[in-house]
């Protein structure tokens, strides 16, 4: 029997799609074990989620996890060294059992997992938690096929809109401020034409980018890896674990008392931090818009809000420390999602047909925002002022346009269209369902070969 080890990078934005993928894969027959760090298992996750088993490795920060590391570079170095050692020990343990691993799926930003798998002769498959377009950009920049333009210059790539420097993933810029992270992202895809690479997207959403990726790899889009019907392999509208505790009762009670399409939901995800000035402009823009708003501001970030805003955001607002985003997006009261455009949030909004107001910050977010506005027509991108942040008047303008304007009507129609296409992709016979079935056949074939080889060696 096929037994797939799924190795995740241990932050919320990477855990969610890979956990959902693990559940989707297990529903097709293979045994699946998701591997994450001891800290996350101790604090946030159970030993079994649905039909997926959970196993642990160490990142060298078992007591505090990534947030206890001095910086991200130090954490990644420790994760690679300690993680490689403890992952090898885990594979050895399972090799001595009756259910050894027969292949590995690893997060593309944890390529050290691939090296460990190779040392055991274990077939390994890369899984990208970012969009196909962003992945294609990183790979083509790495190969020298594509160059990030200088400011003021636009370029056209694989049938997409004209893009300027500010539209590219910030970590594709080789002379940028984070050279170590840039190197990690540019080196995600070092395989060959025969190597499988899985993408959390669907063909209809990113046709042009998938065509490019298939020139380099055995690329398949198997998403959206989001727990929504018809692919419901999880406990309702949740992924199954959260590193932060949501204020569910407060959120849902408040939302359920609001009219349909009347609330602006605001969340910048689990890791983005905004300046005090940007938070002030958002706060005043939302309060002055006259619209209801539900704003997720993590406890550690609430100090950046104007004094007294959490306790008194106005008659129309509610500020919470965390929410179960899928439940919020599924609520009929939500009429707009003000988002940083992380890929998970972008896909979740698409799956639930929610219009977006894009205020991207860095990494892949500017590219996602470009697509939201110009490729898919599911939202607007707020324009930053001369000082580099989005001002309150711009927040108000975009909210009004999306919620009440003529363009907002077209955005809602587009959002509804992509919602249906996302459902079709993961339904029986849909593009992503077919791709996942193809991958399962490959996994089963690899398992048979590996088990036959083990018997010969014995």
**Residue written as tokens 């590995």?**
104
C-alpha separations of 275 from 190, 238, 278, 282, 301 in Å? 36, 30, 5, 11, 10
Catalytic (active site) residue 107: yes
Count of Cβ atoms closer than 10 Å to residue 177 Cβ: 10
What is the C-alpha separation between 298 and 426, in angstroms, rounded?
32
Instruction: Tell me 165's DSSP state.
Output: G
Q: Which residues contact 60 (CB under 8 A, 6 or more apart)?
A: 78, 79, 81, 82, 83
Residue 230, preceding peptide bond in cis (omega within 30° of 0) = yes
Tokens 């500020």 belong to 319
Which residue of the set 14, 139, 218, 340 is catalytic?
14
235 burial type by CB count under 10 A (0-12 exposed, 13-18 middle, 19+ buried): exposed
Which residue in 24, 59, 107, 114 is the catalytic one? 107
Active site residue 139: no
Q: What is the largest CA-CA distance in the chain?
A: 73
Q: What is the DSSP letter of 231?
A: B
Active site residues: 14, 107
């Amino acid at each position: 029997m096929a037994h797939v080890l799924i190795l995740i990078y241990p932050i919320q934005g990477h855990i969610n799609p890979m956990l959902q993928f693990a559940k989707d894969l297990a529903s097709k027959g293979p045994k699946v074990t998701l591997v994450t760090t001891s800290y996350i298992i101790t604090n946030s996750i159970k030993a079994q989620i649905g039909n997926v088993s959970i196993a642990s490795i160490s990142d060298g920060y078992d007591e505090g996890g990534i947030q206890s590391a001095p910086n991200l570079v130090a954490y990644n170095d420790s994760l690679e060294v300690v993680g490689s050692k403890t992952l090898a020990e885990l594979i050895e343990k399972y090799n001595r059992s009756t259910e050894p691993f027969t292949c590995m799926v690893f997060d593309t930003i944890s390529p050290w997992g691939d090296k460990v798998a190779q040392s055991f002769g274990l077939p390994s498959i890369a899984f990208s938690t970012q969009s196909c377009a962003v992945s294609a950009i990183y790979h083509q920049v790495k190969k020298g096929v594509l160059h990030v333009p200088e400011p003021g210059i636009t370029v056209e790539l694989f049938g997409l809109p004209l893009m300027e420097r500010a539209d590219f993933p910030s970590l594709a810029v080789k002379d940028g401020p984070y050279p170590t992270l840039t190197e990690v992202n540019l080196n995600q895809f070092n395989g060959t034409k025969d190597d499988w690479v899985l993408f959390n997207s669907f063909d209809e959403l990113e046709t042009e980018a998938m065509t490019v990726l298939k020139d380099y790899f055995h690329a398949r889009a198997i998403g959206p890896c989001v727990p929504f019907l018809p692919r419901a392999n999880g406990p309702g509208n949740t992924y199954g674990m959260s590193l932060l505790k949501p204020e569910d009762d407060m959120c849902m009670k408040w939302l359920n008392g609001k009219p349909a399409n009347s609330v602006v939901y605001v969340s910048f995800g689990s890791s983005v931090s905004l300046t005090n000035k940007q938070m002030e402009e958002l706060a005043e823009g939302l309060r002055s818009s006259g619209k209801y708003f539900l704003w997720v501001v993590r406890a550690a970030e609430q100090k950046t809000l104007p004094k007294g805003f959490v306790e008194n955001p106005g008659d129309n607002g509610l500020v919470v420390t965390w929410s179960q985003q899928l439940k919020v997006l599924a609520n009929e009261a939500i009429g707009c999602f003000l988002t940083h455009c992380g890929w998970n949030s972008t896909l979740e909004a698409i799956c639930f047909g929610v219009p977006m107001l894009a205020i991207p910050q860095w990494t892949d977010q500017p590219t996602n925002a470009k697509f939201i506005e110009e490729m898919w027509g599911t939202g607007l991108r707020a324009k930053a002022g001369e000082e580099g942040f989005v001002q309150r008047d711009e927040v108000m303008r975009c909210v009004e346009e999306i919620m009440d304007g003529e363009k907002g009507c077209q955005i809602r129609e587009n959002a509804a269209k992509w919602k249906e296409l996302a459902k079709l992709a993961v339904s029986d016979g849909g593009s992503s369902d077919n791709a996942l079935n193809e991958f399962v056949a490959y996994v089963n074939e690899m398992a048979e070969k590996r088990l036959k080889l083990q018997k010969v060696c014995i």
